[in-house]
Amino acid sequence: MSVLVGKKAPGFSAAAVVDGQNIVSDFTLEQFKGKYVLLFFYPKDFTFVCPTELHAFQEKLEEFKMRNVEVIAVSTDTEQSHWGWLQMGKNAGGIKGVTYPIVADTNKTISSNYDVLAGDFYYDEAGMLQAEGELIAYRGLFLIDKEGVVKHQIVNDLPLGRNVEEALRMVDALQYFEENGEVCPANWTKGKVAMSATHDGVAEYLSAN
C-alpha cells in the first residue's frame, strides 16, 4: 500500500460527468491548482453504501466550497454509467442532485496510481490476461493542498462507509495549521485551542484543557 502523503498527487485526464448532467472527455486534476481538492474513490455505481456517501458529500458541498475545496469522486465505471445513475432519484437508489464531478476511471489507471485498486491482474503461462477479484476501487480519500501535494489519506474496505464530518475536520486542521503555524491535537475541531510545536506551547494547551 502506497503512502502518498507528502507527495505530489498523481495527475490524470479522463472522462467525467460534471454538474450532474454534462459529460466532458478531458477532465483533469491539474485544473484545480491553487485550490484544495478532496478526491474520493468509491467501488461501483448502482450499489448500496456508495449512494449514501455521494449524497453525504453533496449535503456538505457548500461547506467544502466555503473552504476553497473542490470535491471530486472517482470510480471505475464508465461516464455513461455515472450519467445514468445521476438521473435516478434518491428514493430509487440513485444519486440525482449530486453536482460535483464524477470521474470515469474505466482503464483503472487513476485507481492504480493512487493504489486503491482492489483485485490483482497478471498474465498466465499461456500469455492470457487473468484477474483475481473485481478490479474496482476501495473507498480511498485524499486531501490535496493548493500546491497539489497530498496532506491526508484514508482507505476503507468496500463495506465501510466514510465520515464526511471527519473529512471537513481534516480540511479545517490543515488550513488552521497553514494560517497559524500551530499544530492540531487529537480530536481538535475548528474553534478549539491548538498548540505550538514547543514545550511552552504544549504546556499552554494542556493548561487550557
136: containing domain = 13-161
Do 105 and 147 fall into the same domain? Answer: yes
Do 134 and 192 fall into the same domain? Answer: no
Do 102 and 121 fall into the same domain? Answer: yes
- pLDDT for the residue 204: 52
CA pair distance 36, 153, nearest whole angstrom: 14
CATH code of the domain containing 84: 3.40.30.10
- pLDDT for the residue 1: 60
Place of cell 440513485: 94
Query: Over the stretch 30-61, which tens digit does the pLDDT of each residue have?
Result: 999 999 999 999 999 999 999 999 999 999 99
Domain count, the chain: 2
Decide which of 129 and 140 is more confident: 140
Annotated active-site positions, please? 50
Do 48 and 94 fall into the same domain? Answer: yes
Decide which of 133 and 173 is more confident: 173
Query: Over the stretch 84-95, which tens digit does the pLDDT of each residue have?
Result: 999 999 999 999
Q: In this structure, is residue 1 part of a structural domain?
A: no
- pLDDT for the residue 205: 45
End residue of a domain, out of 129, 144, 161: 161
Q: How confident is the model at residue 73 (pLDDT cuts 50, 70, 90)?
A: very high
Q: In this structure, is residue 93 part of a structural domain?
A: yes
- Rounded to 5°, angle at Cα 58 from 54 and 59: 120
